Chain A
Amino acid sequence: MPPRGMRRAELIGLAALALVPPLAAALGQPFYVDLFTRIMIFAIAAVSLDLILGYGGMVSFGHAAYLGIGSYAVGILAYYGITNGFLQFAVAIAGAAAAALLIGFVSLRTSGVYFIMITLAFGQMIYFLCESLNQFGGDNGLNITEHSNFAGLLDLDNGTTLYFLVLACLALCLSLGGRLVESRFGLGLRGTKSNARRMEALGLPTFRYRLTAFVIAGAIGGLAGALLANQTLFLSPSIMHWTRSGEIMMMVILGGMGTLFGPVLGAAAYLLLENVLSGLTTHWQAILGPLLVLLVLFSRGGILGAFTSFARRRRG
């Protein structure tokens, strides 16, 4: 995939997303603003997972934990009356990054299936930790009374403002992510994916490279969590249940692993599919499940992969 074509697809996609609020207003369907805010938040989480999964080959099965840490940071600070958004977001991102540093430091000693399972175990640890925080609602969750307050600059009570904040964060993540994977660091990281031993032999500190990527992904996950808390205004351990980590992973694969825009498409496809199917029947998971199985069995490269091979066929 040529980077320039990719950039263009990204720009078109982001421009299309910017058109959602006016279109929703014109159609009188404000619900879509809400839906697409959610899609973009999960897109940010999926992009961050793809940085380590698609570019670093690290199958982390506990990514929802960072989402949880981000939203608990916002929610707990708000509970104590600290609603300064800059502080809340800083704590959310730093907290998730610190957790990722710790988790990565232990997990990256293992590889293969052990890595999948140990990241899952850490995710569960944080899940149970939050579930047992009784003063913050424990298992039942807790309502957050106020949105993050950005010194009066942004009014997040307004759904459209929140929408554009999330869109800006997504654009930022995509652009930073794009620079990152093309940088010297990114090339090294991709090298550890295809052949870690050779990269090590070349003198690359692979452990440090992977850990750094792991921490960056965790930090972005924390940002997504902080945004999610602002959208739902509700704290609940269920946002970091292990099945949520599976869903985020599914979004990455669905869209196209190892690309930055793929996970965005994947998040949109997954959540739209969920939305459409749950409108059809209460038993929508009985349809979604087999669909996912078929997808894994018969498609390679996800949605983006299907597009590019189609484009290549037309050209060639």
Chain B
Amino acid sequence: MITLLEQLFNGLQFGVMLFLMAAGLTLIFGIMNLINLAHGSLYMIGAYVAASTFGATHSFLLSLLAAVAATAIVGIAIERLVFRTLYERDHLDQVLATFGLILFFNEMVRIIWGATALYTQVPDFLSGQVELLPGAPYPTYRLVIIAVGLLLAALLWLLISRTRTGMLIRAGAANRTMVGALGVNVSLLYTLVFGLGAGLAALSGAMAAPIFTVESGMGDDFLILSFVVIVIGGIGSIRGAFIAAVLVGVVDTTGRAFLRSLFAMVMSRSAADNAGPTVASMLIYVLMATVLFFRPTGLFPTPGR
């Protein structure tokens, strides 16, 4: 029971980190109609900047700020240099150009920080444990990630549903040509959304730095997971991205934790030892294929696309 609770929290923590990535991806796709494979690179840059800033200053907050600021700058730079030309191209061109960017960023990271992985610790004031229930301790740092993730999700929801900027973002997702025709500075809106997405990805990477290995290519697999999230959620929908992120996080984490023992109930020990991890690693892709089979545009399709 206690392990189940712990794994559910782990799943939630993984889910909110996925959400921070997926929110940017889904906004960028929803508004600019751009598939950005380089979003995982932004996550990676965030993690590297945070890890090295923390190593130099030992200030956690400073490391988060530096990561978000540096990555937002990189993000806005590639938006101006590369993506401007890509908006009007088809998805294939976008996939390929941003794939080229991944190769570039993975290698640049190796040039700047070296080929060996970076390790960084959880800051002292967050390194303890909190009792979820009596007798069920849980790392404070992971709880903080959950809290930050939920807070940002709430802020993002407020921004999008309650502010003028959010209204333009929603309008852009539904019909960007019309928004431009109504006299909105679309170019500025694009830069803003891109910077926002880059910042969120960087924050996700910066918070991941102490618990995952910081290495070149760390964003690649995380990127694919975020794509799974936005596709399940329905591209362009923030609400869909949030629900799908938590769903994917919980399904993936609990699958890895419990499938083996679950299988052991119906098959031999050794067969379960083999099948458990195999099925667990495929689980979210099966989930995605099932969702798309029944709802080809995801759980919460955005109207107008």
* Residues of A bordering B, CB below 8 Å: 53, 59, 61, 106, 109-114, 116-118, 120-122, 124-125, 128-129, 131-134, 242-243, 246, 249-250, 253, 283-286, 288-293, 295-297
Which of B95, B101, B105, B285 contacts A249 (CB under 8 A)?
Answer: B95
Between A and B, 22 residue pairs with Cβ closer than 8 Å are: A53-B92, A61-B95, A109-B296, A111-B296, A112-B91, A113-B91, A114-B231, A117-B227, A118-B289, A121-B285, A128-B282, A128-B285, A129-B281, A131-B281, A242-B224, A243-B99, A243-B102, A289-B105, A291-B100, A292-B100, A296-B93, A296-B100
Given A129-B282, A286-B111: A121 and B296 within 8 A (CB)? no
- Say whether B103 contacts A297, CB under 8 Å: no
Query: For the complex, is B66 an interface residue (Cβ under 8 Å from A)?
Result: no
Q: Which of B89, B220, B235, B293 contacts A109, CB < 8 Å?
A: B293
List the A side residues contacting B224 at CB < 8 Å: 120, 124, 242
CA distance A134 to B274 in the complex (A): 8
Q: B285 near A124 (CB under 8 angstroms)?
A: yes
B62 within 8 A of A: no
The count of chain B contact residues (Cβ–Cβ below 8 Å) is 45
From B91, B107, B227, A59 is in contact (CB under 8 Å) with B91
Interface of B is mostly: helix
User: For the complex, what is the distance from the CA of A111 to the CA of B289, rounded to whole Å?
Assistant: 13
Give CA–CA (A288, B103) in the complex, Å.
7
Bound: A128/B285 CA distance, A: 10
A-B pairs, top 8 by smallest CB distance, nearest first, are A289-B104, A292-B100, A289-B103, A286-B107, A128-B281, A132-B278, A285-B107, A293-B100
**What 1/0 flags go to B92-127 for Cβ under 8 Å of A?**
110111011111111110110000000000000000
Instruction: Determine how close the nearest CB of chain B comes to the CB of A205; give it in whole angstroms.
Output: 19
Interface core residue of A61, A112, A121, A242 (most chain B CB under 10 Å): A121
Contact A285 B278, CB 8 Å, known A116-B91, A121-B289, A242-B224: no
Smallest beta-carbon distance B228→chain A, Å: 6
On whether the beta carbons of A116 and B95 are closer than 8 Å, the reply is yes
Q: Are A293 and B82 in contact (CB under 8 A)?
A: yes
Residues of A within 8 A of B258 (CB): none
Besides the contacts A114-B297, A118-B289, A283-B111, what 5 more A-B pairs have beta carbons closer than 8 Å? A59-B92, A124-B285, A131-B281, A290-B104, A295-B100
Q: How far is the CB of B165 from chain A (nearest CB, A)?
A: 25
Determine the chain B residues whose CB is within 8 A of the CB of A295 once the complex forms.
100
Closest Cβ–Cβ distance, residue A78 to chain B (whole Å) = 21
How far is the CB of B173 from the nearest CB of chain A, in Å?
A: 14
A290–B95 touching, CB < 8 Å: no
Asked if B29 CB lies within 8 Å of chain A CBs, one says yes
- For A291, the chain B residues whose CB sits under 8 A away are 100
Residues of A within 8 A of B55 (CB): none
Any chain A CB within 8 A of the CB of B299? no
Chain A positions within 8 Å of B251 at CB level:
none
User: Can you name the residue of chain B whose Cβ is closest to the Cβ of A243?
Assistant: B220
Q: Check if B21 is an interface residue, CB within 8 A of chain A.
A: no
Residues of B with C-beta under 8 A to A288: 100, 103
Q: Which residues of A contact B285 (CB under 8 A)?
A: 121-122, 124-125, 128
CB distance from A80 to the nearest CB of B (A): 17
How far apart are A49's CB and chain B's nearest CB, in angstroms?
Answer: 12
| Most chain B Cβ neighbours within 10 Å, of A243, A284, A285, A295 | A285
Distance in angstroms between the alpha carbons of A292 and B93 in the assembled complex: 10
| Contact A116 B35, CB 8 Å, known A109-B296, A125-B286, A129-B278 | yes
Within the complex, the shortest CB–CB distance from A100 to chain B, in Å, comes to 14
Kindly state whether residue B64 has any CB partner on chain A within 8 Å. no
